Each structure stands twice: as structure tokens, then as C-alpha cells.
Amino acid sequence: MSEFMLLLHENPQGFASLSPQDIQTVIGEYSAWRERLAGEGRLAGGNKLKDEGGRWLTGGNGQVRVVDGPFSEAKEVIGGYFMIKAADYDEAVEISRDCPHLRYGGRIELREIDAIHD
């Protein structure tokens, strides 16, 4: 069994126009997806990232430059991530395919964790 990371990219303003009732529906769909994975023992973690651009650090010429990441003006940000367990990419894709994120204009970047100890 391998671990995969789902990076959830989204438009930071994407949900602004949903009604409270729509929002309840969407949350319900996410909860159902998440709980199913957890029930199958496939969910290994997940977190929301704070709504800000964070800091971008770059090195060079013996210096580290730190700048605020773009957020409000960004068209797309990483809203959060999930860790899942799956046999291979095919299975990981199948699991990710049902993620409600894809139904609401989001994009998922799926990456396998390259474990040091196999």
C-alpha cells in the first residue's frame, strides 16, 4: 500500500456566491466522501491551509529572500490537502475522482509519496 497526497487547488473566490443552503449541500458531499474513505481505512490525514499567501522563500547569492505569497489576487491557490492510502496510481485516481472538489471548479494534483523505506 502506498500513500498519496491530494493537493486541492481552488479559486479563492470560488464559493463566494453560493447560498447558505448550497453550502450545506456541498459540505455534506465532502463529509460523505471523507467519511467513506475513513471507514475504508484509506484516509491518512488532511488539513486546510490558512487563507493567506504564506511566505515564499528563495535562496541565491548566499542570501535568503522572503516575500509574502500572493493570495487575494491569485486565480488559484492550494486550499488544503488530503493523504490517502492506495495500491497504485490507478486506485488513487479512482478514489480522487469522486472528490466533490472536482464538481465545484477545483483541481486536484495527485502525487505519490516517495517513501524512504519501502
Q: Which of 46, 53, 78, 108 binds other proteins (CB under 8 A)?
A: 46
Dist CA 25 CA 33 (whole Å): 13
Amino acid identity of 52? E
Spell out, one character per residue from 69 to 88, where the chain touches other proteins: x when CB under 8 A holds, - when not.
----------xxxx------
- Beta strands at 43-48 and 55-60: parallel, antiparallel or unpaired: unpaired
Give the binding-site size for other proteins (rule: CB under 8 A): 25
The residue range among 40-48, 55-63, 88-96, 108-116 that interacts with other proteins, by the rule CB under 8 A, is 40-48
Cβ distance to other proteins smaller for residue 32 or 57: 32
Cβ distance to other proteins smaller for residue 89 or 106: 106
Q: Which of 23, 57, 102, 113 binds other proteins (CB under 8 A)?
A: 23
CB contact set of 84 (below 8 Å; sequence gap of 6+) = 3, 4, 6, 37, 42, 43, 44, 92, 95, 96
